Amino acid sequence: MKAISFAAACCFSLSTVMAQETNVLTAVATNNMPRTNGLPAGTMTTIGAYDLRYEGTKGSKYFIDEWLSGELVFVKENTKAPKTVPLKYDSQSKELLYKRSVGDSIIVNPSQITGFVIHDARNNASFPFVKFEGLKTEGGTVPVAYMMVLYKNKTSLLKYVSKMMNKANYSALSNVDRRYDEYTDNSEYFIQKPDGSLSKAKLKKNAILKALNDKEDQLEAYIKKENLTFKDEYDLARVVAYYNTL
């Protein structure tokens, strides 16, 4: 009778939990393993609580999530290592991964290369990256960084491709109800002058004018004429391209 009463109580408790639409699942299970204390199997009940609110991870830490054909640009041109290999760039750790023929992957030693190119045949696009040392970013100085070349000329536009992880936060003490981890973009833009110096740029008119302030009046007139809004990096590239004609 006691066993029946206990089971009924557990069922009642579980029904109450479900009726309250809680996100915590209470599992009631009988442990059938033999007891070391002499009790027969099936006489003990384990109750565990599982939080079902977490929804996993959104996004990817990689620049492009799949392995794509790429080219490594070595410091020593006569190196015997393969130059065309499957590559993947980790935008969070800032590491370049190379997939070997045996199926595993390794991190490319940055001291051996000056850059790399990733080819996206599906979208008919190529993404060249160049290596920089001691890059000063919003998050601090990066000892070794790879930057994507968006536009190349005497004055070039570069992009420091970067992602960060925003952890799930659904604590009762917080007003935030984000039930998933998410990778978000926090890339930065740089203008490289002919002498190799770098100036920070943003998807804002004032920021690009500050970075190219020696031609500010001409650039401001061009931005107004072309009605550039800087909603994407293409407008930045257009301004830098025009700057090279002045």
Residue pLDDT tens, the chain, 246 long: 444 444 444 444 444 444 444 455 554 555 555 554 455 555 555 555 556 777 778 889 999 999 999 999 999 887 777 778 999 999 999 999 999 888 899 999 999 999 999 999 999 999 999 999 999 999 899 999 999 999 999 999 999 999 998 887 776 666 677 777 889 999 999 999 999 999 999 999 999 999 999 999 999 999 999 999 999 999 999 999 999 999
Can you point out the beta strands (E) in 52-162? Answer: 57-58, 68-74, 84-90, 95-99, 105-107, 113-120, 125-137, 140-151, 156-160
Pair of tokens at residue 90: 């980790």
**Cα angle, residue 160 at apex, residues 200 and 206 outer, rounded to 5°:** 30
- Percentage of the chain surpassing pLDDT 90? 62
Nearest partner of 157 among 208, 230, 111, 205, judged by Cα: 208
Using one digit for the tens of pLDDT, what is the confidence trace for 51-76?
Answer: 677 777 888 999 999 999 999 999 98
| Unique residue bearing structure tokens 């002499």 | 38
pTM of the model: 0.75
State how far the Cα of 188 lies from the Cα of 201, in Å rounded to an integer: 8
CA distances from 5 to 1, 2, 9, 16 (A): 6, 5, 6, 16
